[in-house]
Amino acid sequence: MKILYYDCSGGISGDMNLAAFLDLGMPKDYLESELAKLSIWSDITLEVNTVASHGICGTRIQILQKEKVHRHRGLNDIKQIIGESALNVNIKRQSILCFTLLAEAEAKVHGETVEKIHFHEVGGLDAIADIVGAAVAVEYFNPDMIYSSPVQVGSGFVECAHGILPVPAPATAELLTDVPIKTGHPFETATPTGAAILKAQAVKFTDSISFTPKKTGYGFGTRESSFPNALRIFLGESENRLEEQYLFETTIDDMSPEAFSLMENRLFEAGALDMFKTPVVMKKGRLAVKLSVLVTRETEESVLNVIFKDTSTLGVRKIFFEKRYMERRFEEVNTVYGSVRVKCSYLKDELIKYKAEYSDCEALAIKHGVPVANVYNAVVYCFEEKYGS
């Protein structure tokens, strides 16, 4: 499984992020060809240099704007720029998500609606290139999971369009709600753009992660300091397959059991990975059913809609967890009764266990009028003969 891990011990900004991905191996020509799909491309140029700081060699990028007047674009303006481009749908979706998170943070901080928010610093062409470039980079490396360390935000004060503000800037602080942060460096090290990119991409923030690094990229900012003003990104692999999943749970005591059947079918159609019901006793001795549904990040909204529409519940608990599993492959064996699919489980390319698909065995048992156990035994014999014990 391919993993991207952000080491934000030196903070993160939009240009540091883009520089780190270039240092990690994304070609500059590829980045430029993707950004050229935006209508603003003719108004910017990319200046990429190899730099060394504190004995570390890395990359620095500067996005130079040709426009002299800085426009205060709103979310709809930026959505239009991205939406009308020839970028693929994943890059568009990720870029718009990032700007939406920024708009929501700014709206909350300033007591405005998202529609009335006009970006200042992050509405510039350089910020648009940073955020779209971040989505382009993720699409280029195509990781299975993205993690981040706690974020170093710095300390002190920063001057921006609204005046002199404490670090982290209010929008950054809002974006990093529920994200572990560290303070201490004597200036701003995490910008709103960098925080939004992390919030949109990383599925978990942790100091504890097990993986094997394959490449490392350093993206340098422009500030000179007593420590490396750089973002480090690791590209690596995990020996065990790992998947981020969520468990939805709710208890139901006022619904006809017959109604669960249609709901179950709709849950799986919506993308549920698994579903089960557990008899429980609620307060005051009420008998009920605890509905548990396993989902991924991509399917949680569609599954949640089914639960709310097809059950009597008014609320759902959401539990995050990691699922580790062995690699699975299907083989096919020909027995005296017919062909049967066999699910094989591997750990580090070593076959650990296998199991015949029950539906195949059942169909052959019915066809030949024999017990299912006979078909199972035939599968074991043929599999061992073909692949060894």
Q: Are residues 98 and 20 in the same domain?
A: yes
Residues with pLDDT less than 50, the chain: none
Number of domains in the chain: 3
pLDDT at 125: 87
Q: Give residue for tokens 């020996």.
A: 239
Whether 133 and 265 map to the same domain: the answer is no
pLDDT of residue 297: 81
Cα-Cα-Cα-Cα dihedral sign, residues 323, 325, 331, 332: negative
The answer to whether residues 147 and 6 belong to one domain is: yes
Tokens read off for 265: 């079918």
Tell me, yes or no, whether 250 and 332 share the same domain.
no
Among the candidates 237, 254, 284, a domain finishes at 237
In terms of domains, do 338 and 288 share one?
no
Q: Are residues 184 and 319 in the same domain?
A: no
Do 220 and 83 lie in one domain? The reply is yes
Give yes or no: residues 273 and 286 share one domain. Answer: yes
Asked if 133 and 227 sit in the same domain, the reply is yes
Q: Return the number of other C-beta atoms located less than 10 Å from residue 93's C-beta.
A: 14
Pick the last residue of a domain from 324, 343, 363.
324
Dist CA 101 CA 198 (whole Å): 11
Q: pLDDT (tens digit, 9 = 90+) per residue, 185-239?
A: 888 999 999 999 999 999 889 888 888 899 999 999 988 887 889 999 999 987 6
129 strand-pairing partners = none
Burial 349-359 (b: 16+ CB within 10 A, else e): eeeeebebeee
* Cα pseudo-dihedral 130, 134, 139, 142, rounded to 10: 160
Query: pLDDT value at position 61?
Result: 96
At 216 the pLDDT is: 97
Burial class (CB in 10 A: 0-12, 13-18, 19+), 65: middle
Residue 146 burial (10 A CB sphere; 0-12, 13-18, 19+):
buried
Q: Model-level pTM greater than 0.75?
A: no
DSSP 103-123: HHHHHHHHT--GGG-B-SGGG
Give the domain-ending residue among 289, 305, 324: 324
Range of the domain at 331: 327-387
Tell whether 63 and 126 lie within a shared domain. Answer: yes
Task: List, edge to edge, every strand of the sheet that includes 241-252.
Answer: 274-281, 287-295, 241-252, 317-325
